[in-house]
Structure 1
């Protein structure tokens, strides 16, 4: 998501309650060995070594060049493949453009057309695509899950049907364009809220007030696509649900999804080591979900700062130690590499647990190419986290702009990138090659 926050979107009492539930589950299943998070074990041949580079087209249109570590200019997809990346994640917004001005909201202006272009370039390098449907016209995360403009006045039932239709239509376009779609996210960091339904809007967080039904409709759309295109077995498109806070509330949400009978395949989490806690706790949570609910698991988003320096005029979300709830790793290129390897190995440890071999799918680094932005260009190309017209979308739901912007913004994530401010690859990018080399023979 764009301007990321420490998750202060739920009342303290609710978070504590979820934590107690999750803690109870972990205590009851304490037999799960978390040492795998520290060992070079569990990396399968198909282990996902992914990145989310949704903003890449916007950067290229703005004239930004990217370079291998030796200074040679290259295509971003070639640079990533050379570094060991095998999977690309791309966010999809329904209509990320202002109704009046027709300008984009920013964040890459990622609609289905851009997803197709990114997916085709990934396919040409032998990479699969994870399609991250936000079911919104702009950033959806635990602080905001606005419905698309076109769905604003829909009933809960109409929204569920719209989720089906948008998912089905988008996947049809991707497949007809030759994209190798491997997985679909039915929502982004949903946490009990999606498309203007659920906790943020009615105080009901357990998926019962429209969210679970919409998630199920999204899964049914993927099932229909799989059937119509003859995609089965290892070729079937996987259906993922995406939550945050893996060490506290995620286990509770796995239970809620089960209670709602949602037909999904992959339980995905955001796992930022500086906000969410230790990799040992992450390994335990993922093992519990995999074993208890018979679901594959993965990290849909992770990252770590390599510096506290800011590369543009927009402040970063993590600009000092005070912005980090946890600082287990050094803030440096080496520390970034170490932190991300540890996160991926936590997922791999699921494959060392009895009964869940192959359930630990891998992970995705979030926006490793979102370097500093020339704010003068961001409104035109969508390179910043939000443009001056993005606030118009929020005003459809609020009487003032809080989450988006009324002026063009830059990157709030440039110190998390795996490229320096000039676009040159950092050594930390080679973490994917290192993980690939650990694959079991």
Structure 2
């Protein structure tokens, strides 16, 4: 989190949700409009960072479902389409007397509890190892107290050993570890080491430990302020230092790090040039500028906000970030995480500041306590210490949560579910003119349930019921939930119709069996106006009929026959065609002999 806890009040128009002194609001039922986002599938990461959850629960915070009933927040998140959680872990966020530094009390013990609950709700877990005792970001990367006097090599070993410890603890608890982040926003260094050739050795040790002790999990690195140039420089340094990471993670807050061209540029460099996967590790957006717990918000009024500051604005910001990641990653965009959507007041209401501050001291529910300042001061990071000393208190993030201050989910939380595209039509395909028959009789034809932008497949009828040869009504390219594109044909058979994957059908070719030149020049006229003049597209042993002219347009035209051609069609029968020329030279092609007289 960039600048965690620092008040950012930018001048501009204020959008209020009319939070009263007791914290009541009028926004929990505000409806949102969310369109499916092409590229966002059931497999895409639709994650949230809920690192502060155990501190909130320990302090007595209650969460509810959309009907206003108390419910396990993980169930609400699962119901809303969330499939991944991100959890930060600090080594030892306490002073020598056991006082918490706050910040959500992100201890290994607490995060294991949340990780187990997430796994039980069918979610994968991203573990964010910060290798610090408190907030680690570009402004501060303080060493853990226990490592303060270590040599460089001892620090490297400590990173490896600590990573091993966390991986082993999580695995023993049955946690489904999907990804591990080695370091947090290490743009300017890590563990108070700013030389890339040195601190990237720390990252490499962590990555190696992840691969060994959490096999199958992705090892990620994490940087903020993404641009093409900055991420190209970082990726080059990682390559030079032989860091074997899998995923490049970015911090991208639309109101701080935009426009989205910055994110697109960074993602293209990582996925196209360096062939690595890409994800946004942190994003969020305010639905109000109101203070709902007495603690100043980290984001106040915003000048020229990229989205309306509202519940709908939140939904739009979420949708656009996922759209950017999934549609510009050269197939390597994984998804994103919303940062701390459940970090709400312990007791809602701006007049409950002291209550919330006291809860922060006791449970760690605020962004910091007064005990955090000394940790930074002792590490020589006096600016960070001064900031903690001045601004410590309750949550500074409640106005960017996806729950209202009383724990009721906002409709913007449903964006995680509503933006999923199950299958969609990418473009129309050229409709073949051949007849087809079934090649896999155990397969099915399907109907589409939904719109062309997002639909599910529903079985229409088994292909074993098709007994004849069929024309193709329509042809479309369909992108499925796995991101791959498939060609589907639509056929109609009596009252039955459906879409069939093209590989389950076999083209019945037309074949020329014999051609004879006609030496005499007998003239013909149209006998049946329903016929056509055709061209043959393809080779003589496998061709399609292509309509060139309609005989109804030439009722009095005289045609000259120059050759007779026998064609064996899809049904196995042979038909005689005349190759004709109109006397004016404008029409020529093949006509079934029965249409002429």
* Residue in 1 that maps onto 2:309: 331
Q: 2:128 aligns with which of 127, 132, 152?
A: 132
| Aligned mates of 2:248, 2:391 — CA distance in 1 | 36
* Deviations, residues 227-278 of structure 1 (Å, cap 9, x unaligned): xxxx3xxxx1100000000126233212221221110000000000000012
Change beyond 3 A, Cα 1:344–1:190: same
Contact 1:238 1:265 (8 Å CA) reproduced: yes
Query: Among 132, 139, 154, which residue is 1:143 paired with?
Result: 139
CA shift digits 1:304-355 (9 cap, x unpaired): 0111111122211111124xxx62211111011101110011110135xxxx
Counterpart check, 1:61 vs 2:49: no
Q: Tell me whether 1:76 sits opposite 2:76 in the alignment.
A: no
Please say if 1:185 is aligned against 2:181. Answer: yes
Note if contact 1:184-1:240 (Cα within 8 Å) is conserved in structure 2.
yes
The more displaced of 77-86 and 257-266 is 257-266
242 and 62 in structure 1: CA distance in 2 versus 1, 3 angstrom threshold: same
- Which one of 383, 387, 406 corresponds to residue 422 of structure 1? 406
In structure 2, how many angstroms separate the alpha carbons of the residues matched to 1:139 and 1:193?
14
CA displacement at 1:406 relative to structure 2 = 6.9
The yes-or-no answer on 1:394 pairing with 2:376 is yes
Alignment of 1:270 with 2:266, yes or no, is no
Shift of 1:402: 2.1
| Counterparts of residues 251-290 of structure 1 (less than 5 Å) | 251-290=232-271
Which of 319, 325, 339 is residue 366 of structure 1 equivalent to?
339
Q: Determine the C-alpha separation between the residues in 1 that align with 2:255 and 2:390.
A: 29
Structure number having the greater strand percentage: 2
Residue 220 of structure 1, aligned match among 181, 203, 208: 208
Q: Report how far residue 396 of structure 1 moved.
A: 1.2
Q: Deviations over 1:160-185 (max 9, x none)?
A: 11110100111011001110111000
The 5-angstrom pairing of residues 77-116 of structure 1 reads 77-99=74-96, 101-116=97-112
1:409 corresponds to = 393
- Note the 1:300-339 alignment, pairs <5 A: 300-322=281-303, 327-339=305-317
2:154 aligned partner: 158
TM-score normalized by structure 2?
A: 0.62
Alignment of 1:168-207 (within 5 A): 168-198=164-194, 204=195, 207=196
Provide the rounded CA distance (Å) in 2 between the counterparts of 1:58 and 1:74.
17
- Structure 1, unmatched stretches of 5+, are 7-37, 199-203
Aligned to 2:29: none
Which is further off, 112-121 or 360-369? Answer: 112-121
Match of 2:360? 378
Shift, 1:411, TM fit: 0.9
Distance in structure 1 (CA, Å) of the matches to 2:7 and 2:176: 32
- 1:294 aligned counterpart, secondary structure: coil
Q: Which runs of 5+ in 2 are unaligned?
A: 9-34, 347-355, 424-479, 482-597
1:238 matches 2:218: yes
Tell which deviates more after alignment, 216-225 or 250-259.
250-259
Structure 1: which 4+ aligned runs deviate by more than 4 Å?
A: none
Hey, what does 2:497 align to over in structure 1?
Answer: none
Aligned residues: 385
How far apart, CA to CA, are the structure 1 residues paired with 2:37 and 2:392? Answer: 44
1:249 to 212, 230, 237: 230
| Aligned counterparts of 2:48 and 2:132: Cα–Cα separation in 1 | 22
**Aligned equivalents of 1:217, 1:182: Cα separation in 2:** 19
Question: Structure 2: how far apart are the matches of 1:59 and 1:432?
Answer: 23
Aligned to 1:3: 5
Q: Provide the rounded CA distance (Å) in 1 between the counterparts of 2:262 and 2:36.
A: 15
More relative contact order in 1 or in 2 (CA 8 Å, sep 6+)?
A: 1
CA shift, 1:403, in A, is 3.7
Instruction: Classify 1:82/1:39 alpha carbon distance in 2 versus 1 (closer, same or farther; 3 Å).
Output: closer
CA distance in 2 between partners of 1:56 and 1:368 (Å): 10
* Residue aligned with 1:249, SS: helix
User: How far is 1:413 from its partner?
Assistant: 0.8
Q: Is the 8 A contact 2:41 2:421 kept in 1?
A: no
CA offsets per residue over residues 95-134 of structure 1, 9 Å max, x none?
Answer: 11111x2011101211111121111000100111100000
Residues in 2 aligned to 1:421 and 1:162: alpha-carbon distance in whole angstroms: 40
Distance 2:6 2:321 in 1: 19
- Determine the structure 1 residue equivalent to 2:48: 51
Alpha carbons 1:341, 1:435 under 8 Å: kept:
yes
Local SS of the residue matching 1:365: strand
Task: Check whether the contact 1:137–1:149 (CA below 8 A) recurs between aligned residues.
Answer: yes
Q: Deviations over 1:181-221 (max 9, x none)?
A: 110000001103111211xxxxx4xx11x211000000111
Contact 2:36 2:421 in 1 (8 A): no
Q: How much is the aligned-residue C-alpha RMSD, in angstroms?
A: 1.9
1:341 aligns with 2:328: no
Report the alpha carbon displacement of residue 437 of structure 1 after superposing the two structures with TM: 4.2
Partner residue, 1:21? none
